[in-house]
Structure 1
Amino acid sequence: MGLTRLLPGLVVLCLGAVLARATAVGVGLNHLLVAIALGFVLTNGLGVPDRLEPGIATHKLWLGAGIVLMGASLTLETILEVGGLVLVVVVAVAGATILVVELLSRTVFDLGERLGSLLAAGAGICGVSAVVAVAGAIRAREDHIAYAAATVLLFDAITIVVYPIVGDVLDLSALVFGVWAGVSMFSTGPVVAVGFAHSEGAGQWATMTKLARNALIGVVVLVYASYYARGATGGRLSVRTLWDEFPKFILGFLVLVGIGSLGVLSPAQQAGIENAYNWLFVLAFVGLGTEIKLAELRNTGITPAVVVLLSLLLASILSLAVLTALF
C-alpha cells in the first residue's frame, strides 16, 4: 500500500530526471540545474496534484542516498589535505552568520528574539531543516516558522542562479568555489547543485563542506534550547537532543569515505557508484525544484529578507576573500 501511494510521484521524478539529462545534452546546460528548473515549472505552472506529493516528497531521501554514495569516490587523504582549514572556516562563518542575524534582528530591525533565532539558524547552518529543528526547541510561533522558512527558500532560489555566475566571472577553482558555496549558501540541495554545476571537484568539496556545517545543528539546537528554557528549567543540555538532531546520513557518508580510502573498489565499481549518485542527485533536484513556490516567496516579509540578505552578503564576501587567500 505504501509503495502504491508513492509510485505516481516517483514516476514523475524519474521522468523528470530523464528529461533533464536529455535537455541538458541538447542545450548544453548542467543537468542538475535543468532538473531544478523542471521541478519549478511543474509546481508553478501545472501544479502538483495531491496524488503525486508523497512520491515527490521522497526527494530528500534520494539526496541523502546520493551524498552517502559520493563518499566512495573520496579518500581520507584528500579530505585531510585541507580539511583542517576548511573546518575552521566552516565554524567561523557559521558562528559569524548566526551572530550577525541575531544582532540585526534584535537591535536594528526589532524582529523579536524567536523569529531572529529561526532566521539565524536557517542562514547559519542548514536552511529550512535548521529552522524546523530550532523552532521545536524554542517553541516558536507558526507564523514565525513560516516567515523564516519562506525567507530561506527565497535565498536558496536566488543563490542557485547567482553563485554559478559569480564562479564563472571570477574563474574560481574547484576547491575555492566548492568550499565557498558550502560555507555561505543555506540549504544542502542548492549547495550540491551549484557545486556540481561548476565541476565534479567543486561538487565534492561543496558537499563535504556543507556536511561539516550541517553537523553543527545539534549543538545549535542545544544552545538555543538552553537559552530559551533558562528561566523554567535551567537550560540543561541533553545528549539525546544532540543525537536526535544530528543528520544521520553523514555517518553513511563517512563509512563510504573509509571504504574508498582502503582502495578495495575497482575503477569499474567506482564508475558505477559515481553514475548511481549522479542519477540520485538528478531525481532529488527535480523534487527540490517543486519546493520553490512563487506564491510562498511573495509572502516573505521584507524585513526578514533584508536581515538575511545583509548576513549573506557579509558571509559570502568575507569567506570568498579568505578562501581565495588560503587556497
Structure 2
Amino acid sequence: MSRTVSLRRFLPGLLVLCLGAVLARGVESVAGINHLLVAIAAGVVLANTVGVPDRLAPGIGTHKLWLGAGIVLMGASLTLETILEVGGVVLAIVIGVPAATLVAVELLSRTVAGLSDRLGSLLAAGSSVCGVSAIVAVAGAIHAREHQIAYAAATILLFDAVTIVVYPIVGELLSLSDVAFGVWAGVSMFSTGPVVAVGFAYSEAAGQWATMTKLARNALIGLVVVAYASYYARSGTDTSEFSPRVLWDEFPKFVLGFLGLVALSSVGVFSSGQQASLENAYSWLFVLAFVGLGTEIRLAELRSTGAMPVLVVLTALVFASGLSLAAVTAFV
C-alpha cells in the first residue's frame, strides 16, 4: 500500500514531462524547431510563469534519472571502433582543455577578481569538469560554505542557459562537422544535460560525440576532488579528512552503464532492429529529461548572481571555447 502511495506522488509530475515531450515533438513537426530545444523552453516557461507546484515537483524531479537512462541506452548504438577513430586526439583535448580552464579560473578568481579561495575553487571545478555536480563534490571535500555553493551553482546554471542557445548558432555559422561540433560542445560546455541537448539539436552524430566527450570529461571529477581535498588539507585551511563517500555520491554512475552497453554493442550483441528500438527509446527519454531540465532555469535566481563570479566564468568559458574550437578544427 505504501509503495502505491509513493508511486502516486510521482504521477502528476511525470504526466507533465510526458505532455511537454509530446508538445515538443509536435512543434518540431509543424515549425521545424528542434524538439529538444522546445522541450527545454517548455520547462523554462512553466518554471518562470506559473511555477512548479509542490504536487508536481517529485515527478518532474525525476528528469535526471531519465537523462542518465537515455545516456546508458545510447551506448548500444556505439562501438569501441567508432570511438577509437579519433580517440587519441579527443582524449588529449578532454584532458588539456579542462586542466587549462581550471588553472585559468583559479588565477582569475584569486589574483584579479579577489574572490575567496573556496568560491574560486568551486567555480574552477564547475567550469572545468561537470558543472554543478563537480561543485557539490568539491564543496563536500573542502567544506565550502552554503552561500559559496549557491553562488557557484547559480553562476554555472546561468551559463548552461546561455550556451544552450549560443552553441548551435555558432556551430552552424562556422559549418562545423558533426564530430567537431560534438567534441567542442562536450569539452567546453559545463553541465551534461545542456551538452547532450545542443549535441543532438545539431545532429544525431554530434549528439553522440558530445555525450561521449562529456562523459570522458566527467570522469576527471575524481582527480579534481582528491586534488582539492589534498590542497586544502596541506594548506591548513581544512583539517578534516576527505571521505571517498563524497566522491562516490557525486560520481555520475550512468557512465558505467553507458560503457557496459558500448562493450556489448562492440561484440555484436544487438541487432540493427534492436539498436533502432533503443535509439528511439533514448530519444524519448532525452525529451522527457529536457522538459525537466528547463524547469531548473529560474530567471529570478540567475539575476541574483554576483557580477564577479559571472565575469570570471565568462572569461574562462570564452578561453576554453576558443581553445577547444581551435583544437577540434585543426585535429578532429
What's the CA shift for 1:243? 4.0
What's the CA shift for 1:245? 3.8
Which residue identity is paired with 2:211?
T
CA distance in 2, matches of 1:139, 1:238: 11
Which residue identity is paired with 2:120?
G
Which residue identity is paired with 1:161?
V
1:142 — aligned with what? 146
2:323 — aligned with what? 318
Gaps of 5+ in 2: none
1:218 and 1:242 in contact (8 A); partners too: yes
2:254 — aligned with what? 249
CA distance in 1, matches of 2:200, 2:100: 26
- Out of 250, 260, 264, the residue aligned to residue 259 of structure 1 is 264
Is 1:272 the counterpart of 2:277 in the alignment? yes
Instruction: State TM-score, norm by structure 2.
Output: 0.96
After superposing the two structures, state which structure 1 stretch, 231-240 or 83-92, moved more: 231-240
Is 1:42 the counterpart of 2:74 in the alignment? no
1:81 — aligned with what? 85
What's the CA shift for 1:284? 0.2
What's the CA shift for 1:246? 2.7
Is 1:31 the counterpart of 2:35 in the alignment? yes
Q: CA offsets per residue over residues 88-136 of structure 1, 9 Å max, x none? A: 1011111111100000000111001000001001100111111111111
CA distance in 2, matches of 1:232, 1:16: 47
SS in 2 for 1:205: helix
CA distance in 2, matches of 1:232, 1:275: 50
The root-mean-square deviation of aligned C-alpha atoms, in Å, is 1.4
Which residue identity is paired with 2:203?
S
Which residue identity is paired with 1:287?
G
What's the CA shift for 1:87? 1.1
Is 1:94 the counterpart of 2:98 in the alignment? yes
Instruction: Please list, as runs of the form range in 1=range in 2, the aligned pairs for 1:128-167 lying within 5 A after superposition.
Output: 128-167=132-171
What's the CA shift for 1:326? 0.3
1:97 and 1:124 in contact (8 A); partners too: yes
CA distance in 2, matches of 1:159, 1:13: 23
CA distance in 2, matches of 1:77, 1:106: 43
What's the CA shift for 1:248? 1.2
1:221 — aligned with what? 225
2:297 — aligned with what? 292
1:9 — aligned with what? 13
SS in 2 for 1:253: helix
CA distance in 2, matches of 1:213, 1:323: 15
2:309 — aligned with what? 304
CA distance in 1, matches of 2:267, 2:31: 39
CA distance in 1, matches of 2:242, 2:151: 28
2:69 and 2:282 in contact (8 A); partners too: yes
Q: CA offsets per residue over residues 269-295 of structure 1, 9 Å max, x none? A: 111000000000000000000000000
1:70 — aligned with what? 74
Gaps of 5+ in 1: none
CA distance in 1, matches of 2:16, 2:277: 24
Is 1:282 the counterpart of 2:287 in the alignment? yes
CA distance in 1, matches of 2:237, 2:124: 23
What's the CA shift for 1:241? 5.1
Q: CA offsets per residue over residues 195-242 of structure 1, 9 Å max, x none? A: 001100000000000000111111111111111122378887766555
Residue 15 to residue 126, structure 1, CA distance change in 2 (3 Å): same
Question: How many residues end up aligned between the 2 structures?
Answer: 327
Instruction: State TM-score, norm by structure 1.
Output: 0.97
CA distance in 2, matches of 1:105, 1:43: 32
Is 1:53 the counterpart of 2:57 in the alignment? yes
CA distance in 2, matches of 1:121, 1:240: 18
CA distance in 2, matches of 1:208, 1:158: 22
2:232 and 2:238 in contact (8 A); partners too: no
2:141 and 2:242 in contact (8 A); partners too: no
Q: CA offsets per residue over residues 249-279 of structure 1, 9 Å max, x none? A: 1110001001111122122111100000000
CA distance in 2, matches of 1:104, 1:315: 14
| Identity across matched positions, percent | 73
CA distance in 2, matches of 1:34, 1:129: 25
CA distance in 1, matches of 2:263, 2:163: 32
- Out of 180, 187, 193, the residue aligned to residue 184 of structure 2 is 180
1:192 — aligned with what? 196
